[in-house]
Structure 1
Amino acid sequence: MDTPYQSHINKNDFDYVYEPAEDSFLLIDALEKDLPYLKAKEPIFCLEVGSGSGIVVTAFGMAFPKTFCFSTDINFRACEMTLSTAIQNNVLLDVVNMNLVSCFVNNKFDVVIFNPPYVVTDTTECGGCGIEASWAGGVKGREVTDKLLDAIPKILSPNGAFYLLLIKDNIPLEVVQLMSKKGYKSETIITRQVRNEQQLVLKFYK
């Protein structure tokens, strides 16, 4: 899976939008590792929640040119950057400025991707719509993630797959158990030690 061109991005923009980092590239690597599975699915609709710079959803769109991609972000500047990244790389993408997936229903998405704000913080740090929304995760670093987990049964197609990046502090086993209660199986696609963080990408499916 190719890494999208980012030469159009002004470095100063990363004062306002999450700059692609090890977690972003781990998510792209996870999707690449799972490419045979994804290609067999022939996904029609893909959604990235909290797209930031847009490199993950754009990388997906480059690998799946027949898939119509959507992204959401609570940060309006991130929406603008995501759209420009998609355009720069000739990917068809519809960008929506909203909190998580509040406007989507009806189990339309064959692939959902989420690199959440996973840093353990005080609850009061959650809920912003600037760059802090890209990292402040509240208790266990999971307050935002858990809200999306509740929405997955409403937006993921019956045959769909949900890719979620977590760190060890988020207690991934609890997430697996929560999703199991909703009827989802899980697989760990990839893990990587990055400085003091153990990052991993989980896949959930029926």
Structure 2
Amino acid sequence: MIPTPDLSHLRSEDYKHIYEPAEDTFILLDALEEDAEELRRSKPLVCLEVGSGSGCVSAFAGAILGPSTTLYLTTDINPYACRSTKATGSQNRVPIEPICASLTNPIRTRLRHAVDILLFNPPYVPTETEEADEAQHEANIAGAWAGGQDGMEVTGVLLGQVESLLSEKGRFYLVAVKQNDIKDICDKMLHQHGLKGEVCPFVHLCVPNH
């Protein structure tokens, strides 16, 4: 088994500002570990995590790939999360480069068809639209879970960007729950973007349909 990243540098005070790794985080780690050999064979050049929070997931990806030429990029709207992600990378000897931004907005054009591993544990909890909008605007911990109508308002924006981001060998890992209508997500990604999906427990994976 690949060890869970060392998060001992983070304290309870930190988790008042950033999302503390929980069941959804660890299921995403399990999905990555299940694909570990295939991910290594693909020799990814760019790994991008959207909404990195503590940096646990990107650090785990780094543990899977080991010493490599992979560029680890993350984004998060929460400045505290960006600082925590950088610290987690240092703690685990993974050179993570965090960017304080919403989704992939400032880098989407430059990363067009260049992302080999795309990771997103989104704010998927169904809430009122106003609550989700406020959470995104305030850029605080609520932005890690408040997902708006059907929990899909933030996720839906990124889904529209995935096709243009993934490289030919790219893989997209998305955490989703029943309320998000996982089958509908898979159907839309296939019919609208040509991406086929596989469903793991609590995790949805899309890969290019070549």
Identity %: 40
1:40 offset after TM fit, Å?
2.2
Q: Which residue of 2 aligns with 1:151?
A: 161
Q: Which residue of 2 aligns with 1:125?
A: 131
Q: Secondary structure at the match of 1:121?
A: coil
1:18 maps to a residue whose letter is Y
Aligned equivalents of 2:58 and 2:179: distance in 1? 25
Runs of 4+ displaced beyond 2 Å: none
- Which protein is richer in strand relative to its size? 1
1:177 offset after TM fit, Å?
1.1
What is the aligned length?
197
Aligned equivalents of 2:150 and 2:82: distance in 1? 27
Of the three residues 77, 81, 87, the one matched with 1:84 is 87
Unaligned residue ranges in structure 2 (runs of 5+): none
Q: Does 1:184 align with 2:195?
A: yes
1:2 offset after TM fit, Å?
2.0
1:44 maps to a residue whose letter is L
1:88 maps to a residue whose letter is Q
Given that 2:89 and 2:96 are in contact with CA atoms closer than 8 Å, whether structure 1 keeps it comes out as yes
2:205 maps to a residue whose letter is K
Q: TM-score, normalised by structure 2?
A: 0.91
Q: Which residue of 2 aligns with 1:167?
A: 177
Aligned equivalents of 1:161 and 1:62: distance in 2? 17
Aligned equivalents of 1:107 and 1:2: distance in 2? 31
Q: Which digits, 9 at most, give the CA deviation of each residue in 1:59-112, with x for residues without a partner? A: 101221312211000001000001000000100111100000002222211000
Q: Does 1:38 align with 2:48?
A: no
Given that 1:124 and 1:138 are in contact with CA atoms closer than 8 Å, whether structure 2 keeps it comes out as yes
Q: Which residue of 1 aligns with 2:117?
A: 111
Q: CA RMSD in A?
A: 1.0
Q: Does 1:62 align with 2:73?
A: no
1:121 offset after TM fit, Å?
0.2
1:50 offset after TM fit, Å?
0.1
Given that 1:2 and 1:63 are in contact with CA atoms closer than 8 Å, whether structure 2 keeps it comes out as no
- Shifted more, 152-161 versus 24-33: the winner is 152-161
Q: Which digits, 9 at most, give the CA deviation of each residue in 1:176-196, with x for residues without a partner? A: 0110120001111x31xxxxx
